[in-house]
A and B are shown apart, each in its own frame.
Chain A
């Protein structure tokens, strides 16, 4: 075990993991975090806290994660390369580790063009794979990015990375994942999966490369709230693949039942994920719909969560 976080223990014990996500507010309001956290507590093994998601300024990931620690929820902080250079990232990670945060998801970050400060300067000193390598060196070699030794206590994280199986070039994606794992990723959370056959093909190649034996792969899933949201994801979110049959299923029920059907559909996808070789868990992203998570996991047969 590297850090013995709850998430690492669940995955190491061979059980199917379930993680959730909490989007911090666009304000300094603490109350909303407690409200959202209550909807997730006990239902997931760890909760990702996004880092200026979609390049919109929000409360920082580490501060929200610290609040979650205080209420007994294990956080996974997210760190993007868009807003910080290697100095700022390392400084924040030293602090996060000192605060007791154990899981970290390393991301390049959505381009600032898509957010609410599109004229901001993007940093991109590192890319996500270099970030993974840097965090691993901090932990395993007790070395900063410049090679300097950490004299006393090194920051220790269970290192996560993301992968989008639906981005191009499709043939390269499994190799890119392998590269992230070689750099030091302990777990991987994927982009939202709606095109299950294509994801199966991706996973087949990942398994052929043996990557699933060196890291834990959590399939990204999420319920669709409305047909409008489905169309938006299908047409306007870069790197998303929402097949027509996903939307057709939601269209097949009366309007007032779309949400319920979305939850059922998500649970069905999770059940399919559980059967795919090499998939070690799911990461449930119910964006601004944290209420749905418990029901989805109940329907998927993933509750109660194991204690390890």
Chain B
């Protein structure tokens, strides 16, 4: 899922400073799971901002709402009234939700309340890690199910760099070396010979370098 982190309160205060009626809008999907922008976080942020407004003696008013998914028109259309009443909306959804609101409500100020951080999972409660970079050309079938694009700081495709030590990455000693993981996995699968063949230049045009990507499914169009 998409993982996000709430922005520092000081940054949020700066973003909303010019506005009086502010809607804090949560999202019930990814950011709820990552404890960054669900109903609970909306409530906590609203409380913090109300206290901050009282201390700063400004007259900002905060309302709260959470929709199931900010990245789908039907859910954000359903709260049009609340959005229209606000001067600005702080979206606690990922960047997709923020942009969906901005597109649907062209005359409304939409502000991000979280930093969208990565595609990943919680490997234990409270510990979320990156697993996919959405590069558009999956090679997990060649690398034992461990992604060197998302998990190697240098996107190496042909084995570990000289900084791999005791299974850890030189860039962050708390991070597992992706290529050590790949080596171990391929070893267990009896496929170590795969590491001897050259993996050629990656087609980055399928990644961000090709510009914003689009999938069109004619079979699904109405």
A167 CB within 8 Å of chain B: yes
Residues on A with beta carbons closer than 8 Å to the beta carbon of B171: 111, 113
8 Å CB contacts to B: which residues of A163-185?
163-164, 167-169, 172, 175-176, 178-179, 182-183
CA distance A145 to B164 in the complex (A): 28
Comparing B70-78, B86-94, B128-136, B196-204, the segment that makes contact with chain A is B196-204
Inter-chain contact B196/A175, CB cutoff 8 Å: yes
Quote the shortest CB–CB distance from A225 to chain B (angstroms).
22
Q: Which 7 A-B pairs have the closest CB atoms?
A: A164-B162, A238-B170, A238-B163, A129-B158, A239-B162, A127-B156, A167-B162
Judging by beta carbons under 8 Å apart, are B200 and A130 in contact? yes
* A133 at the B interface (CB under 8 A): yes
| Contact assessment for B170 and A111 in the assembled complex, using a CB-CB cutoff below 8 Å | yes
Given A111-B170, A129-B198, A130-B198; A169-B160 close (CB under 8 Å): yes
Residues 29 to 73 of chain B near chain A (Cβ within 8 Å)? none
Given A127-B154, A239-B170, CB of A167 within 8 Å of CB of B161: yes
- A145 CB, min distance to chain B CBs, angstroms: 6
User: Shortest distance in angstroms between B195's beta carbon and chain A's nearest beta carbon?
Assistant: 6
A contacts, CB < 8 Å to B: 81-82, 86, 108-111, 113-114, 122, 124-130, 133-134, 145, 162-164, 167-169, 172, 175-176, 178-179, 182-183, 191, 238-239
Which one of B165, B183, B184 has the highest number of Cβ atoms from chain A below 10 Å of its Cβ? B165
Indicate the size class of the contact surface on chain B.
Answer: 20 to 34
Chain A to chain B contacts (Cβ below 8 Å), 17 pairs: A111-B163, A114-B170, A124-B154, A124-B155, A125-B201, A125-B204, A127-B156, A129-B159, A129-B198, A130-B158, A130-B199, A133-B200, A168-B160, A168-B167, A169-B164, A172-B160, A239-B170
* B166 proximal to A (CB < 8 A): yes
CB closest residue in chain B, given A129: B158
- Bound Cα distance from A86 to B196, whole angstroms: 23
Closest beta carbon of chain A to B50's beta carbon, Å: 35
* CB contact between B166 and one of A109, A124, A168 (< 8 Å): that residue: A168
From A134, which residue of chain B is reached at the shortest CB distance? Answer: B201
The residue on B at minimum CB distance from A111 is B171
Least CB distance, A36 to chain B, in whole angstroms: 25
